[in-house]
Amino acid sequence: MHFDTLAIQATHKPDPTTGAVIPPIHLSTKFERDADTYELVGPHGYTRFSNPNREALEQALATLEGGAVGMAFGSGQAATMTLLQTLRPGDHVIMPKQCYFSTPMLLEQVFHPWGLTYTRVEMSDLDAVQASIHENTRLIWVETPSNPLLTLTDLLLIAQMAHEAGALVVADNTWSTPVLQRPLDFNCDIVMHSTTKYIGGHSDVLGGALVFKDGNHELALRARQIQQLGGAVPSPFDCWLLLRGLRTLGVRVRAQQATAQAVAEFLEGHSLVERVYYPGLDSHPQRALAKQQMNGPGAMLSFNVKGDAEEALRVCGKLKLFTLATSLGGTESLMEHRPTIEGIHTMAPANSLRVSIGLEHAEDLMADLDQALKSL
């Protein structure tokens, strides 16, 4: 089945008791036991452990990523935290130098004091990755394309390297979504999502997820235990919203991607733009890898304006259609100066801007960018 059909199939399970085509929101925190047998009447007992809305979301996510088991969390960071908690003090993690800023912060500030060791490497440099694998390496973290400069990581080769060393690979698939990239098909073991972004898709719900290729792997079982005992879970309403988001994920992502391609080409040809980072452009150094492991380059891009931070911020200030806000994956186009957000440790050049393309018309966005750039 194609993704779009699968997405509809996986998100529509009519309610057997009422026939409702769209499932109701089960706010109940508790579920009844039978008076005679004292067995639970249904499959659920208590909402921290499981809930019909969360179960529906988790199963749909697992299906769409091609995994065995899905787990939903209250945020992307809660998903990351749960995965790191499955490891033991003394274990070693390989973390990209370039990735979503708060992922390594969690490792550095919370899990390093707790006993995890880690190495930050440039993931597109396979020799550097190989050299950083130790005997106690349990997990290699991959984010491709990476935030904020859209560098790609070869999923197949990293997975091969990890497996030879007895380690697992987790891919943060937030930017690509399973519409454009399915890391488990490229031998990765775990997919992580901030469902806050494209999966929710409307900038109104916070969530995260893990999908395991092998649902019986020790780390999958521990992650489920931590989810149920620790309780960093999304509310039933959030799960319902995320399931709704999944139904339109394919059309949204492809429409946003088509606009991003047009905007990237426009920016690359603009005299006031120094450089564009977008895997849909022939100028992207890993264009071939993008074609190999992605169904499309996505709707995120970055570019450097001619000048410095001051010029980049001036362009931001002149935009009329782009909202100046963090995050990504919603219906509204966003412009962000990552160096301001990330501070001195940023990998983003001072004159770079990151763009999340929404569902506006490409021509209007290009006209807005043009008038803002001409203010330089």
Residues annotated as catalytic (active site), given as ranges? 48, 100, 172, 197
Beta-sheet pairing, 352-356 with 300-305: antiparallel
State the DSSP code for 143. E
Q: How far is the CB of 99 from ligand PLP (least distance, A)?
A: 7
- Min dist. Cβ of residue 332 to ligand PLP (A): 16
Q: Based on CB atoms, which residue is closest to ligand PLP, 143 or 311?
A: 143
| Strand-pair partners of 354 | 302, 336
CA quadruple 107, 347, 75, 83: dihedral, nearest 10: -30
> What is d(CA 311, CA 373) in angstroms, rounded to the nearest whole number?
9
Which of 143, 154 has the CB closer to ligand PLP?
A: 143
Token match 């009844």: residue? 32
Residues that bind ligand PLP (CB under 6 A): 75-77, 100, 103, 143, 147, 172, 174-175, 194, 196-197, 206, 208
Is-contact 329 228, C-beta < 8 A?
A: no
CB nearer ligand PLP, residue 76 or residue 250: 76
Q: How far is CA 164 from CA 130, 136, 160, in A?
A: 10, 13, 6
Q: Least separation, in Å, of the C-beta of 372 and ligand PLP?
A: 24
Strands 208-212 and 190-194: antiparallel
The smaller minimum CB distance to ligand PLP, of residues 153 and 196, is found at 196
**Collapsed DSSP state (helix, strand, coil) of residue 170:** strand
Closest CA to 103 of 77, 139, 82, 74: 77
Helices and strands in the chain: count of H runs, count of E runs: 15, 12
Query: Can you state the percent helix, strand and coil of the chain, rounding each to 5?
Result: 40, 15, 45
Q: Which residues pair with 301 in a beta bridge?
A: 355
* CB 328, min distance to ligand PLP, A: 6
- Residue 106: other Cβ atoms inside 10 A: 15
CB of 94 to ligand PLP, least distance (A): 17
Pick between residue 173 and residue 372 the one whose CB is nearest to ligand PLP.
173
Q: Can you point out the beta strands (E) in the chain?
A: 69-73, 92-96, 117-121, 137-143, 168-172, 190-194, 208-212, 273-277, 300-305, 323-324, 334-336, 352-356
Closer residue to ligand PLP, CB minimum distance, 77 or 286:
77
* Nearest distance in Å: CB 33, ligand PLP: 35
3-state class (DSSP) for residue 183: helix
Q: Smallest distance, Å, CB 174 to ligand PLP?
A: 4
Closer residue to ligand PLP, CB minimum distance, 232 or 289: 232
Q: In angstroms, what is the minimal distance from the CB of 197 to ligand PLP?
A: 5
Matching residue, tokens 């452009």: 281
d(CA 58, CA 199): 12
Nearest in space to 243 (alpha carbons), one of 42, 75, 58, 1: 58
Tell me whether residue 75 or residue 302 sits nearer to ligand PLP (CB atom). Answer: 75
Residue 136, classed as helix, strand or coil, is coil
> Which position's Cβ is nearest ligand PLP?
76
